[in-house]
Structure 1
Amino acid sequence: MIRFNRENLRKDHQLIWFTLDFLMLGLLILNLALIVFDFFYSFAGVQGLLSEYVPIVTDVYQPVHENFIFYDLIFVSIFLTEFCIRWVHAITVHTYSRWYFYPFIHWYDLVGCVPVGTLRFLRLLRIISIIYRLQKYKVIDITQTKAYGFFAFYYDAFMEELSDRIVVKILSGVQDEISRGSPLFDRIKHDILYPRRTMIADWLSERVAEATQESYMPNRGALRVYLEARVDTALQQNVELSRLRFLPVVGPTIQSTLEEAVGDIVATVIHQLLDDLASSRNHGFIEDVVNAFLPERTTGEGEEQGEDEANEALKNLINEILEEVKNQVHVKHWRGAL
């Protein structure tokens, strides 16, 4: 059900134009209904049925059908008069920067006035434009109607399908360009990523620290027990170390001491490494990683080979990111509304 907001209609300074909109909306609907009826009436079979069952309709409408162009021109003259009035008003209030822009922007109003064949149905666009204008100024509310919901759903579905195909096509082209080593990859690397190495390193450093703190700190004790157990198992399976137990008197003691010392050293080193990653001390390490991916331009043969390897890794990284973006684009959100 269409809702009318009489308060906005009374308060708005464009009351006269809204009144004209409603008048033109009624005339357009009447005119299109007449066009559709006349189209079907032109068939002999329809005329025969009407003559047999409702002869009064034939008697009344037959003169209209024979002079349909004349009656349609009456509507056209009203539409053109309204168009000229709005054009003059647009010039007066400087709606557009040039006086002759109005007929080009509202071309469907003019073309729809041509009383020839299917051009008449362009008047439907005029109905849509009037309804849109009334909705824009909150004079009416059509968003709660079933018709609006129906068309809005399929419009969104169509636009999503269309935009998804376009985006995937563009991203696939970008991936091809990057894989072929086009100037696009060099521009991404040297003009976009390389000048932002510090920012990337700072961002990665913060993310690594946060991730390490969230996953490592709560499990610090369990991780130490696990590492010591793994080291003990590895040492017990070591042939050279197992021979120490055969030493007289001190053999078992030395073996046990070594196992405890090695286990403690390994656990301490790994804990220290994770502590560093969980703090701001990881910045230097992350910066070295970023610099390895985004090295400065080099000229040496060995350095060029290293840069090629870094470039290949960076290409793979960009392609994987684009592939994930394409996978996300393929998600059909409109289907969730079914």
Structure 2
Amino acid sequence: MLRINRENLRSSHQMIWLLIDFMMLGLLIINLAFIIWDSIYNFVAIQNLLEQHLPAVNSVYRPVHENFIFYDLVFVSIFLTEFFLRWGYSVKANVYDRWYFYPFIHWYDLVGCIPVGSLRFLRVLRIISIIYRLHQYKIIDFTSTRLYRFVMFYYDAFMEELSDRIVLKVLSGLQDEVKRGSPLLEKIQQDILYPRRGMLSDWLSERVAQAAQQGYVPNRGALRAYLENRVDHALKQNLELSRLKYLPVVGPTIQDTLENAVGDIVANVIHQILEDLASSTNHAFIEDIVNVFLPEPGEEVADDAETQALINLTLEVIDAVKDQVRVKRWREALP
């Protein structure tokens, strides 16, 4: 149900104009109802029906119908008076940059005042503009009405269906281009990705360093203990190394020394790799990886089988996107 926020109406600095809006809204509704009824009465069958069942109503309204233009001009005169009042106020308050902008912006107010059947119904636009203005000032809130929710639900459903069909058509066309051997992938690599290799290298270097700092540095002690434990376990499972303990006198000592040395070497190597990745020195390493994936234009980096595999991967990705687009979100809101 549409409710009027009287508190906002009282506190508004344009209370007079808002009251005029309410008055004009009522007159427009009455005028449109009058126009619709007169259009219906214009049919001979309706006149005969009234003459048979409601002759008093027919006799009263017939003179009104014959002078319909005069009564409609009464409404038009009120609408034009309000229009020129608002125009004068907009000029005085410098609402628009030029004084003559107002009639062009509110053209539907003027055109709707022309007493021609097809143009009279443009007064509906005036009703919409008044309701929208009242909604902007939070005097009324039509978004809470059932009619608004009903209309917006089916509007969203229509727009989703329309946009889904357009997107599916575009994606299907893209798949056809890829299947026909379109140079799209090569253009993306050479014209978009390759000129930005430096930026990609810098970004990946920063992200890798950040990930290493946040993931490794606070847990280096636990990681070292884990690596030494796993290396020690692996060495004990090694048959050749286990035979060293059978050497007389020095066998167990050599075995323990080798286990400790290998564990320490592995832990130090992993530690140094992660330390390098966590610092700015990883840039050259990341840059080499980017250069492998984005070689100089013209270099042969993939054979036919690899190219076909890349095309198939692209087609599968597009299929996945199309499957997601086919999901009808508006149906989830149905009761």
Q: How far, CA to CA, are the matches of 1:319 and 1:108 in structure 2? A: 56
Partner of 1:220 in structure 2?
220
Equivalences for residues 161-310 of structure 1 within 5 A: 162-163=162-163, 166-167=166-167, 169-170=169-170, 173-174=173-174, 177=177, 181-298=181-298, 303-306=299-302
Amino acid at match of 1:115: G
Name the CA shift for 1:220/1:234 in 2 (closer, same or farther; >3 Å).
same
In structure 2, how many angstroms separate the alpha carbons of the residues matched to 1:293 and 1:311?
17
Separation in structure 2 between the aligned mates of residue 112 and residue 277 of structure 1, nearest angstrom: 76
Is 1:5 aligned to 2:6, yes or no?
no
CA RMSD of aligned residues (A): 5.1
Aligned length: 321
- Say if 2:204 and 2:286, in contact at 8 Å, map to a contact too: yes
Q: Spell out, residue by residue over 1:56-93, the C-alpha distance to the aligned partner (whole angstroms, 9 max, x if none).
A: 756645665x6596578547855995799699999972
Provide the rounded CA distance (Å) in 2 between the counterparts of 1:184 and 1:113. 59
> 2-side partners of 1:186 and 1:168: how far apart?
23
CA deviations 1:13-71 (Å, max 9, x no partner) are xx5xx7775554333211333355567877989x979987x98756645665x659657
Could you tell me which amino acid in structure 1 is paired with residue 9 of structure 2? Answer: N
> Could you state the TM-score of these two structures normalised by the residue count of structure 1?
0.67
TM-aligned CA distance change 1:113 to 1:281, over 3 Å: farther
Partner of 1:115: 117
Distance 1:270 1:30, change over 3 A: same
Q: Which runs of 5+ in 1 are unaligned?
A: none
Is the contact between residue 25 and residue 130 of structure 2 (CA under 8 Å) also seen in structure 1?
Answer: yes
Secondary structure of 1:248's counterpart equals coil
Letter in 2 for 1:2: I
Which amino acid in 1 is paired with 2:117?
P
- Residues 166-218 of structure 1 show CA distances to partners (whole Å, capped at 9, x for unaligned) of 45654565565456553443443233222222122111112122222222233
- How high is the sequence identity, in percent, across the aligned residues? 51
Range that drifts further, 202-211 or 234-243: 234-243
Residue 101 of structure 2 is aligned to residue 95 of structure 1: yes
Residue 304 of structure 1 deviates from its aligned partner by 0.7
Unpaired segments of 5 or more residues in structure 2?
none
Q: Report the equivalent of 2:33.
A: 33
